């Protein structure tokens, strides 16, 4: 009965359509057929798009090489973290494998004073924002609930409750307006998240206040086991215009297309144009998390078809063809990746369980007698063991 008509979410062969589109303000589209923008195809060929090309015209091969490096490093971080999970050093890891272009292409557009609110899979965004790699691991190793100081990097720690962060980003953007700042807020979330009330409320709110917020939906085709067709009967990018939020639909495995779309959106936000919604059509190549078994719900054939659209390989091909990816460039990228992996591993292993009594720390910013009494009681309790065998470890 409830067949979820799966509309074509496949990026192939869609890139050219955008060409006959008109001027700059056509980039963000009102309601209408959602063609998918692609600037680099899976074979590494540059495809022209009269409109989107305008927004990446200043980017040379060197810049592309930089994005390539970020993607390679991100993947390497991901692989290392997955290995650490298999070795029992962290409890869980949500691989971003396959989503490097969507994350790097968007995050690299931002300024330091922009602010990013993400979900739990945006490790490449965190890397681009400058999160220290040991701090990246703390949440997954369980030595802390979250790893870094958001204000140090302009990025909130991950929101695990699906969709909640989209409202935070919108609120933050309303704050930027009130500060007459041209900083923007960005909300990252998944295809599954679009079903949550909060995400839709964020669209209402952002539209009502023309808030300088960019919604970046990584449609990786799955919410754990549920295919996107269960969450959305239309391409996700078609949702936002009905709220008054213009949207774009881009090949999320194409770092250049993502960059172009993000620049359009960020420029609009900075210049008072209000919110924009970007659907980056990508694929979660790995399991939902290291605890997941995707063979229960999807075919190897499907995975293979997406493997052919790998976001890194296509850039590699392009750079190779352009003669930019010589031995020394490869070696340098490999060195940066190796170094990042080493920092992930060493940083992770160095993370220690905090002091037992720190369980009571920072619940409140101001004194709280009931909690302080609980802390005192627990300290006494732990000390009651010290005489016996030194357990408790209270400093």
Partner 1 sequence: MTTLTLSKAINTGLHHALADDDRVLLLGEDIGRLGGVFRVTDGLQAEFGADRVIDMPLAESAIIGAAVGLAFRGFRPVCEIQFDGFIYPGFDQIVAQLAKLHYRTRGAVRMPVTIRVPYGGGIGAVEHHSESPEAYFAHTAGLRVVTCSDPQDAHTMIRQAIACDDPVLFFEPKRRYWTKGEVLEDLPTDPLAFTHARTVRSGRDATLVAYGPLVQTALDAAVAAADEGVDLEVIDLRSLAPIDVDAVVASVEKTGRLVVAHEAQRSGGIGAELAATITERCFDVLEEAPVRVTGFDTPYPASALEDHFLPDLDRILDGVDRAMGRRSSMPSSTGRAEARTAATTGEEGRR
Ligand X SMILES: Cc1ncc(C[n+]2csc(CCOP(=O)(O)OP(=O)(O)O)c2C)c(N)n1
Catalytic residues: 284, 288, 297
Among 110, 280, 75, residue whose Cα is nearest residue 189: 280
CB of 226 to partner 1, least distance (A): 6
CB nearer its own copies, residue 209 or residue 378:
209
Q: State both tokens at 240.
A: 């936002």
Q: State both tokens at 111.
A: 């300024």
Which of ligand X, its own copies, partner 1, none interacts with 32 (beta carbon under 5 to 8 A by kind)? its own copies
Q: Decide if residue 252 touches Mg ion (CB under 5 A).
A: no
CB nearer its own copies, residue 146 or residue 195:
195
Euclidean distance between CA atoms 148 and 385, whole angstroms: 34
Q: State both tokens at 10.
A: 């496949």
Euclidean distance between CA atoms 222 and 229, whole angstroms: 9
Kindly determine how many residues on this chain lie close enough to bind partner 1 according to the rule CB under 8 A.
Answer: 93
Strands (E) across 229-363 are located at 247-251, 276-281
Widest CA span in the chain = 81
Q: Decide if residue 42 touches Mg ion (CB under 5 A).
A: no
Euclidean distance between CA atoms 38 and 265, whole angstroms: 16
Q: Which residues pair with 185 in a beta bridge?
A: 115, 213
User: In the set 118, 220, 282, 290, which binds ligand X (CB under 6 A)?
Assistant: 220
Euclidean distance between CA atoms 202 and 225, whole angstroms: 25
Q: Quickly tell me which residue has 């490790």 as its tokens.
A: 123
CB of 294 to partner 1, least distance (A): 9
Contacting range for partner 1; rule: CB under 8 A; set: 29-37, 47-55, 278-286, 373-381: 373-381
Which x/- pattern over 23-62 shows residues binding its own copies (rule: CB under 8 A)? --------xx------------------------------
Contacting range for ligand X; rule: CB under 6 A; set: 75-83, 178-186, 216-224, 335-343: 216-224
CB nearer ligand X, residue 104 or residue 319:
104
With residue 226 as reference, give the H or E element that holds it: strand 226-227
Q: Which residue is nearest to Mg ion (CB)?
A: 190
With residue 102 as reference, give the H or E element that holds it: helix 100-107
Residues 6+ apart with CB under 8 A from 251: 11, 14, 15, 36, 37, 38, 39, 257, 258, 280, 281
Note the Cα 180 to chain centre separation in Å: 27
Euclidean distance between CA atoms 329 and 68, whole angstroms: 11
CB nearer its own copies, residue 211 or residue 344:
211
Length, in residues, of the chain? 395
Site for ligand X in 149-178 (CB under 6 A): 160-162
Q: Decide if residue 9 touches Mg ion (CB under 5 A).
A: no
Which x/- pattern over 184-203 shows residues binding Mg ion (rule: CB under 5 A)? ------xxx-----------
Site for partner 1 in 296-315 (CB under 8 A): 296-297
Site for ligand X in 79-138 (CB under 6 A): 121
Q: Decide if residue 242 touches its own copies (CB under 8 A).
A: yes
Which of ligand X, its own copies, Mg ion, none interacts with 234 (beta carbon under 5 to 8 A by kind)? its own copies
Site for its own copies in 186-205 (CB under 8 A): 194-198, 200-201, 204
Would you say 184 and 263 are in contact if contact means Cβ atoms under 8 Å apart? no
Residues at the site binding its own copies, with contacts judged by CB under 8 A: 1-2, 4, 31-32, 177-178, 194-198, 200-201, 204, 207-210, 230-234, 238-244
Residues at the site binding ligand X, with contacts judged by CB under 6 A: 121, 160-162, 189-193, 220, 222-224, 284, 288
């Amino acid at each position: 009965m409830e067949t979820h008509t799966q509309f074509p979410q496949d990026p192939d062969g869609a890139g050219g359509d955008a060409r006959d589109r008109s001027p700059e303000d056509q980039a963000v589209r009102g309601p209408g057929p959602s063609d998918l923008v692609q600037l680099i195809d899976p074979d590494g060929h540059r495809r022209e798009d009269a409109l989107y090309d305008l927004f990446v015209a200043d980017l040379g091969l060197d810049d592309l090489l930089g994005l390539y490096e970020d993607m390679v490093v991100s993947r390497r971080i991901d692989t290392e973290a997955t290995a650490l999970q298999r070795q029992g050093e962290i409890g869980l890891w949500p691989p971003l494998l396959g989503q490097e272009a969507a994350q790097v292409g968007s995050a690299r557009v931002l300024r330091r004073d922009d602010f990013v609110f993400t979900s739990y899979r945006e490790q490449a965004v965190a890397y681009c924002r400058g999160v220290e790699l040991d701090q990246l691991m703390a949440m997954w190793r369980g030595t802390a609930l979250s790893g870094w100081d958001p204000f140090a990097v302009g990025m909130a720690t991950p929101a695990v409750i699906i969709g909640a962060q989209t409202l935070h980003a919108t609120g933050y953007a309303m704050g930027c307006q009130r500060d007459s700042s041209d900083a923007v807020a960005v909300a990252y979330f998944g295809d599954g998240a679009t079903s949550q009330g909060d995400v839709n409320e964020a669209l209402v709110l952002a539209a009502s206040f023309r808030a300088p917020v960019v919604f970046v939906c990584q449609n990786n085709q799955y919410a754990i086991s549920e295919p996107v067709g269960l969450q959305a009967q239309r391409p996700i990018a078609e949702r936002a215009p009905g709220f008054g939020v213009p949207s774009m639909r881009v090949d999320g495995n194409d770092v250049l297309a993502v960059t172009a779309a993000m620049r359009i959106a960020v420029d609009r936000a900075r210049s008072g144009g209000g919110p924009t919604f970007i659907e980056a059509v990508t694929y979660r190549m790995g399991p939902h998390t290291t605890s997941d078994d995707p063979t229960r719900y999807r075919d190897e054939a499907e995975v293979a078809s997406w493997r052919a659209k790998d976001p890194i390989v296509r850039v590699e091909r392009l750079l190779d063809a352009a003669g930019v990816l010589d031995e020394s460039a490869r070696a340098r990228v490999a060195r940066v990746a190796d170094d990042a992996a080493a920092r992930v591993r060493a940083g992770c292993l160095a993370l220690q369980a905090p002091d037992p009594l720190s369980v009571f720390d920072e619940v409140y910013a101001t004194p709280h007698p009931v909690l302080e009494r609980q802390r005192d009681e627990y300290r006494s309790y732990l000390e009651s063991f010290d005489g016996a065998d030194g357990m408790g470890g209270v400093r």
